[in-house]
Amino acid sequence: MDSFLIEGGVPLRGEVIISGSKNAVLPIMAATLLTAERCVIRRVPALTDVGYMSKILRSLGAEVILEDGTLTVRAAQLSGFGDYDLIRKMRGSICILGPLLARLHEARVSLPGGCVIGTRPIDLHLKGLRGLGAEVDTEGGYIRVHAAKLTGQMVFMGGRTGPTVLGTANILMAATLAEGVTVIESAACEPEIIDLAHFLIAMGAKIVGAGSPTITVTGVPALHGADHEVITDRIEAGTFAAAAVATRGEVMIHGARHDHLVAVLDKLREAGGEIVYCASGIKVSARADFKPVDITTMPYSGFPTDMQAQMMALACLANGTSIITERIFESRFMHASELMRLGADISIEGASAIVKGGRPMSGAPVMASDLRASAALVIAGLAASGKTQVNRVYHLDRGYERMELKLQKLGARIQRVEEE
């Protein structure tokens, strides 16, 4: 396994280009299963999760070619039975369920895995598919769905912590080939859902309301191939923005969409960041002092859970106490104990982390527990004095494209090494 060696204390300066969105491209890749025709997806990031999804599509019978950020998929001949070991490794793989059911009328996939950040049940996915007329069974680690036909209905996708993003994506894709009209209520409003809808519309789907809590889908007999460019990754953009502030640097972040980052940029300003909107993205720098912030994660357009860990790293540098409350996942504070190895003062009380900032941060060996926790540890290491070793950065490779190379271009003293 690889790790990052970081010599901290260097302000990040320069320009960085944001890659395509991980959370957008995976459902879009799954959507290519809805047609036998050729689909082209552009701005595809080089991530291990994209590699896994490509293997999953191939295991189902699709032809998949990835060259220089352009993915070509042709799923002319398909099997509805996915590879157990591949699918169980990645949470996003559950997105193949809706397309396979819609096109083949049956599917069998393993229960998906992913980062260890708390319980992420798929009950709403299955409830939605049942609402469209599917029979659902779970046994031996597999989910099996079957439907002679899917029929449009009103489907409610709200859950205990808000709408389900992947569940909305699954029902949205399945509904494109259902008979009649499907109304998805309490739908997820994330930009990644809008991007998926744009791809489906380019394939011939009839969709209205994506990006709002109510999405209406009028089923069509068949979909055709399409050519689509994925949106840029708002979480990668937010991560580099947080890193620029934490190191008191100045970074031009090309491709960052401020309309996708309203809540994040608001908190970065509150913490001491200076944000300038530009035609090609945003420029981020920092004031001399950092102020504490209170954050509560919420469904979009609230503060994203995927930026909680990165903001905790920044809060460790503030002069005062920040309170960070996690309302989406119940086990997403595993990075707190690792930040404490670097000198942070953090206590966990239920769903909240109390961060007493202003203590000196110094480098130490730390262990990454999940994708966004890894990013937080990198940010902390960049801001700390001395050397930090972030172990198990394979988590990072799932969602950040060549992060260490992008940071090196900004002046960071960071290198990838093989763990001993």
- CA dist 383 and 199 (Å) reads 40
Catalytic residue among 115, 189, 278, 316: 115
Residue 115 annotated among the catalytic residues of the structure: yes
- Phi–psi pair at 5, nearest 5 degrees: -105, 125
- CA dist 292 and 353 (Å) reads 13
The residues, any chain, with a CB within 8 Å of residue 23's CB and separated by 6 or more, are: 92, 165, 190, 192, 233, 235, 306
Name the H helices within 141-291: 165-175, 191-202, 234-246, 262-271
Could you please report the per-residue DSSP string of 358-395?
Answer: -S--B--EEE--SHHHHHHHHHHHHHSBSEEEEE-THH
Dihedral of alpha carbons 27, 34, 148, 52, sign: negative
Gyration radius from the chain CA atoms:
21
Please answer whether residues 363 and 352 qualify as being in contact, where contact means their C-beta atoms are separated by less than 8 angstroms. Answer: no
- CA dist 276 and 113 (Å) reads 39
Going by C-alpha positions, the residue among 403, 369, 37 that lies closest to residue 227 is 37
Read off the amino acid at residue 162: G
23 HSE (CA, 13 A, CB side) = 19
181-213 burial by CB neighbour count: b if 16+ within 10 A, else e?
A: ebbbebbbbbbbbbbbbbbbbebbbebeebbee
Residue positions annotated with a catalytic role: 115
